[in-house]
Amino acid sequence: MSVFFRHRIVVILSISIIIGSVTAWYAWYLGYWAPLTVRVGYLTADIHHLALFIAREKGWYLGTGIRFEFKEFPNGPTEMLAFAAGELDIGYLGIVPAMLHKVNMKVNITVVAAANTEGSALVVNPKKIASPKDLKGKMVATPGAGTVQDYLLSLIESNHNVAVERMFITPPAGMEPALQRGDVDGFIAWEPFPARSVYNGIGKILLTSHDVWPNHPCCVVVASSQFLKDHPDLVKTIVNIHVGATKFISENQDEAMSIAAKYTGQEKAVVKSASERVTFDHYPNKDRIKAVLLYLIEGGKIPKENVPKNIDGFLDGFINTKYIGA
């Protein structure tokens, strides 16, 4: 064999090895060789989950050597049913459905981070409702029983001594058309659905959730307690990605709003308006979460036989902040 052909074979083999190595590395990078798949739940077009959308858009889950599968749910209670069925490992959802299913249905989850505070609003037909007192007897849509928004509507009823009729519409995309048809007189939803209704000239914001309860806890990041026990290092990685994405929102607002528009399917002007009523914060406030729990107990949402004997002890087990900044 001539020197030329020997050199040619060496070059071909070298190129093949390089291509094979790059292909193998890229397959690992994308998670194709992952030993497990992490199943992550989130809510439909919910700007509260912007940190998740940013992490996905920026590719921050890639390179972990783990495959991620993202599952969309129409509201928090539906997502919690998926946790109960063992179909999720990580989830972004409201503190109210997380709490109710943890206490009432014994779904074993742990809060590992917060996603946001505030970020919902009550939108009304201004021709029918000009003040909270006008809500009496009116039909108001919420995303469902056991959601943060339904909880906030109960606070509005209590604060203003009114009682409303409820219609459950989920996901919230159907609320604006219902308001336009006159099927409901108002709706309360997570952003950006209230902002979109105002942008489209369909409704007017009567109350923001800040007006109802300033700095109230809203969405959290939860982990299946079994997943947390089996894969603590992976939970640490996921929480660190979430914290980094939350910081990205405040440090890169314009790009963050572009990503929000993409993942919620709304105009950039809509999500920008919506974001003004949301505070993105990764650290859960135990005292405010305790206030939610006490209200749910007082309102009969948690039957007497399910009430934790030691409230603070329950919360210490329910909320685990050790992975934040770890």
Interstrand relation of 165-168 and 139-142 (parallel, antiparallel or unpaired)? parallel
99 part of a folded domain: yes
Confidence at residue 63, expressed as pLDDT on a 0 to 100 scale:
83
Give, in order, the Cα–Cα distances in Å from 305 to each of 14, 302, 316: 70, 8, 20
- Confirm if 217 and 292 have CB atoms less than 8 A apart: yes
Both 206 and 273 in a single domain?
A: no
Both 237 and 279 in a single domain?
A: yes
Confidence at residue 32, expressed as pLDDT on a 0 to 100 scale:
55
Both 250 and 307 in a single domain?
A: yes
Host H or E run for residue 29: helix 3-29
Confidence at residue 64, expressed as pLDDT on a 0 to 100 scale:
87
Three-state SS for 3?
A: helix
Count the domains in the chain.
2
Both 148 and 71 in a single domain?
A: no
Mean pLDDT score of the chain, rounded to an integer?
92
240 part of a folded domain: yes
Last residue of a domain, one of 177, 212, 247: 212
Both 104 and 244 in a single domain?
A: yes
What pLDDT, in 10s, does the model give residues 165-217?
999 999 999 999 999 999 999 999 999 999 999 999 999 999 999 999 999 99
Sheet-wide strand order for 37-43: 67-73, 37-43, 90-94, 219-224, 109-114
Nearest-angstrom CA–CA distance, 231 and 244: 20
27 part of a folded domain: no
Nearest-angstrom CA–CA distance, 260 and 46: 9
274 part of a folded domain: yes
- Confirm if 236 and 38 have CB atoms less than 8 A apart: no
Confidence at residue 221, expressed as pLDDT on a 0 to 100 scale:
98
Confidence at residue 34, expressed as pLDDT on a 0 to 100 scale:
65
Question: For the whole model, what pTM was predicted?
Answer: 0.90
Here the CATH number for the domain that contains residue 165 is: 3.40.190.10
Range of the domain at 249: 37-118+219-318
What pLDDT, in 10s, does the model give residues 53-96?
999 999 999 988 899 999 999 999 999 999 999 999 999 999 99
DSSP state of 48: G
Both 75 and 185 in a single domain?
A: no
Both 226 and 284 in a single domain?
A: yes
236 part of a folded domain: yes
Last residue of a domain, one of 157, 186, 212: 212
- Confirm if 116 and 43 have CB atoms less than 8 A apart: no
Residue stretches of the chain with pLDDT short of 70: 1-34, 326
Q: Which of 289, 292, 262 is nearest to 113 (CA)?
A: 289
Q: Three-class SS string for 72-136?
A: EECCHHHHHHHHHCCCCCEEEEEHHHHHHHHHHCCCCEEEEEECEEECEEEEECCCCCCCHHHHC
Sheet-wide strand order for 139-142: 165-168, 139-142, 186-190, 120-124, 204-208
Q: Percent helix, strand and coil across the chain, each rounded to 5?
A: 50, 20, 30
Instruction: Please provide residue 4's backbone torsions phi and psi, each rounded to the nearest 5 degrees.
Output: -60, -50
Nearest-angstrom CA–CA distance, 58 and 245: 9
- Rg, Å, the chain Cα set: 23
Instruction: Please provide residue 42's backbone torsions phi and psi, each rounded to the nearest 5 degrees.
Output: -155, 170
Both 223 and 310 in a single domain?
A: yes
Confidence at residue 130, expressed as pLDDT on a 0 to 100 scale:
98
Confidence at residue 7, expressed as pLDDT on a 0 to 100 scale:
55
DSSP state of 140: E
What are 180's two structure tokens?
Answer: 């336009």
6 part of a folded domain: no
In the chain, the largest separation of any two C-alpha atoms, in whole Å, equals 96
Both 100 and 125 in a single domain?
A: no
Q: Which residues pair with 110 in a beta bridge?
A: 223
15 part of a folded domain: no
Q: Which of 256, 249, 265, 248 is nearest to 192 (CA)?
A: 265
DSSP state of 217: B
- Cβ burial of 52 (10 Å; 0-12, 13-18, 19+) is buried
Both 114 and 153 in a single domain?
A: no
241 part of a folded domain: yes
Both 242 and 295 in a single domain?
A: yes
Last residue of a domain, one of 191, 212, 233: 212
Both 201 and 261 in a single domain?
A: no
